[in-house]
Structure 1
Amino acid sequence: MVERDREWNLLAEFLADTDPAMRLAIVSGRRRHGKSYLLQALSEQVGGLYVTAVREEGRLPAIQRFSDAVAAHASLRPGSLHLTDWRDVLSNALDAVSRSPHPLLVIDELPYLLQHSPEIPGLLQQLYDERQRGPVPGRGRG
């Protein structure tokens, strides 16, 4: 990484925060400036889950590919998670990364997913809120 020390340090500082509350970061910027490279490298360094959306991919293939990435992260066989909606996929992804000392889930190219699944931001907000409150008695986390 050439001339990306500032960006790398900001990402590392974000991850090193000891606050136990779930945190959300949004990284944006012009294309072809190395954001994906930085996020993938950071994810690899801390054992996070990195998933890239694909522009031409439809809803069901995207759900399956994301599910396979969650399964691989959790050391399960690809195809072993049969998730059919984004709430289950995102909840399982958050559960899988929460077992790490530095939980990190990166969804790269999120706008591509939003083209066919506009409910994702609302689901992320709902899951974020649920995790901030903690488990609700009598209700599972996902």
Structure 2
Amino acid sequence: MFDTAVESTYVWLALAVVGAGVLGLALRVPTAPPPDATGVARTVDSVASSPHEATGSHPVDARQMQLGSHRLSLRGPGGDAHASFAYGPVVPATGGDGDRLGAVLQGVPPGRAFASKQRFERALDRSRTRDPSWQPAPERLVVRRVTWGEVNATLVGA
């Protein structure tokens, strides 16, 4: 009459295992959503698909950004988010020739920033083929589609 039922031991053991599993899942769930890489890519695509020169910008809510000619990755407290550009390749205006390309991105005509169309084309090619790396994310990403003669490019940067 005062014995413990064998089944109750197994029930308590099973409840302890399930409770530990639920606690583990609760502690692993991120506290914030991942950054919105798709929204940023949509802004880039809307400018890149324009038949005319255009400019756009999009706020970036992430700690780090990896910007390539075909793809964008954002890293934040909620994890990583990735998106591909439908209208690529784009030209990351960061590093290397980034100062002159950055000036063009901010509105300087390519003819004032570069001595010739050939130098502008070479700078675009170098920037497109550079391997992307993680950089601190800007607060706002700027996108500009420029044309200089037959040279067309979509510059992306901060």
Instruction: Please indicate, yes or no, whether the TM-score normalized by the shorter chain is above 0.5.
Output: no
Structure with higher strand content: 2
How high is the TM-score relative to the length of structure 2? 0.29
Structure with higher helix content: 1
